[in-house]
DNA sequence: CCGACAATGCAACAAAGTTGCATCACAAAG
DNA sequence: CTTTGTGATGCAACTTTGTTGCATTGTCGG
């Protein structure tokens, strides 16, 4: 996609008040421009194309990114949490489309359809913190390829740590 | 709550084409009238007030209920899936309000705020199967009690199996 | 060089769910 | 009444995903 639209990983970390380290830059780089929310395992595989990386450290970095507001954590139908970068400008939430076949979780354009869900939360006798909207289904790629799941996962074998 | 509003567990199973067994009746009974989506662990604890029950069998029963359309499985912010009975009449989806503090997941009234989310799914190059809407926040009970979480869990010790 | 302090790595652990296989219950057949 | 088949249940081991405690490394101010 159009790389010019994206801030550099270094700037993103700076904006969130997180000290830049090689691993953190690699993690943010892996998530940037994906256009979808990735499970920790996929992010780890992507980062390991560039450098060795420890599983636990990755989880700690992801926790930090979420805590500092740079990333969001989303639950899908399966057991793994997905992480996607907050769209640059603000904390406006966005929904996701989850393929129950291949596990891909596409980020949807901001604001789409979420307005009245947020309104719904307002009447709830609850301090609303966030709103999760997920559309489950079978993605176009998986609908075609009847056989194996379409974009099943990031390649690259396991191993290190 | 008003028990007269609820179908009997036996009837629910019959309607879904599931053979009734004592355990299955107990499971459906535990879920019925809860008004919220319960994690498997809570359902197990409730069932065990009545009879011994095996963890694996419970998971198999829950899978069966979901497969036959009698129950729905929902993911929350934590690692445990929640299960709630489909409201009697139809497959109309409903959203949930999840308390990040005590883990309670309240079922919201049907239709509330989900109309345009469903519409959003229609434009998606994806075979839409279902729509998940979850409002995360801190429930009223937890907001008051600053100390320990409010409705933390179903009581009853672990043990059996 | 020295100590402080954050980042990383490693091993063990934990929670939730799954798998394979043994057993049980019960009904139909002989 | 006994045999035999089938689905439901139980049990142990395992997998996946994430977490915790603690050791090690690296960096920066003095
Ligand atoms: Mn996203
Ligand atoms: Mn519900
Ligand atoms: Zn797919
Ligand atoms: Zn609560």
CATH number at B55 reads 1.10.10.10
B20 touches chain A (CB under 8 A): no
- A79 lies in which domain range? 2-144
The answer to whether position A128 is within a domain reads: yes
The answer to whether position B154 is within a domain reads: no
Give the tens place of pLDDT for each residue, A15-47.
Answer: 999 999 999 999 999 999 898 999 999 999 999
The answer to whether position B155 is within a domain reads: no
The answer to whether position A133 is within a domain reads: yes
Of residues B77, B113, B128, nearest to A137 (C-beta): B128
The answer to whether position B96 is within a domain reads: yes
Name residues with Cβ closer than 5 Å to ligand 4, which is an ion.
B 99, 101-102, 139, 142, 150
* A19/D28 CA-to-C1' distance in Å: 14
Mean pLDDT of A105-134: 85
The answer to whether position A136 is within a domain reads: yes
The answer to whether position A59 is within a domain reads: yes
Identify the top-confidence range among A130-139, B56-65, B80-89, B125-134: B56-65
The answer to whether position A160 is within a domain reads: no
How many domains, in total, are found in chain A? 1
The radius of gyration of chain B from alpha carbons, rounded to an integer in Å, stands at: 16
Give the tens place of pLDDT for each residue, A44-62.
Answer: 999 999 999 999 999 999 9
Q: Residue B20 is encoded by which pair of tokens?
A: 């009734």
- Best of B117, B118, B142, B144 to disrupt the A interface (most A CBs within 10 Å) is B117
For residue B101, give how far its alpha carbon lies from the nearest alpha carbon of chain A (Å).
11
pTM of the predicted model, to two decimals?
Answer: 0.91
Give the tens place of pLDDT for each residue, B9-67.
Answer: 999 999 999 999 999 999 999 999 898 999 999 999 999 999 999 999 999 999 999 99
CA nearest A157: which of A41, A24, A55, A58?
Answer: A41
Q: What is the pLDDT of residue B3?
A: 46
> What 3-state class would DSSP assign to B61?
helix
Between residues B44 and B160, the one the model is more confident about: B44
Interatomic CA distance for residues B76 and A146, integer angstroms: 30
């Amino acid at each position: 996609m159009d790389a010019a639209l994206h801030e550099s990983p270094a700037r993103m970390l700076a904006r969130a008040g997180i000290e830049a380290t090689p691993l953190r830059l690699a993690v943010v780089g892996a998530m940037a421009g994906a256009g979808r929310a990735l499970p920790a395992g996929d992010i780890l595989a992507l980062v390991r194309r560039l450098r060795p990386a420890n599983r636990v450290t990755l989880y700690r970095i992801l926790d930090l990114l979420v805590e500092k507001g740079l990333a969001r954590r989303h639950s899908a139908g399966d057991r793994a949490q997905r992480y996607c970068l907050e769209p640059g400008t603000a904390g406006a939430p966005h929904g996701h489309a989850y393929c129950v076949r291949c596990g891909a979780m596409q980020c949807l354009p901001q604001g789409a359809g979420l307005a009245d869900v947020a309104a719904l939360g307002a009447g709830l006798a609850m301090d609303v913190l966030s709103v999760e909207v997920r559309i489950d289904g079978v993605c176009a790629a998986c609908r075609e390829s009847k056989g194996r799941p379409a974009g099943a996962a990031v390649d690259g074998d396991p191993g290190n740590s």
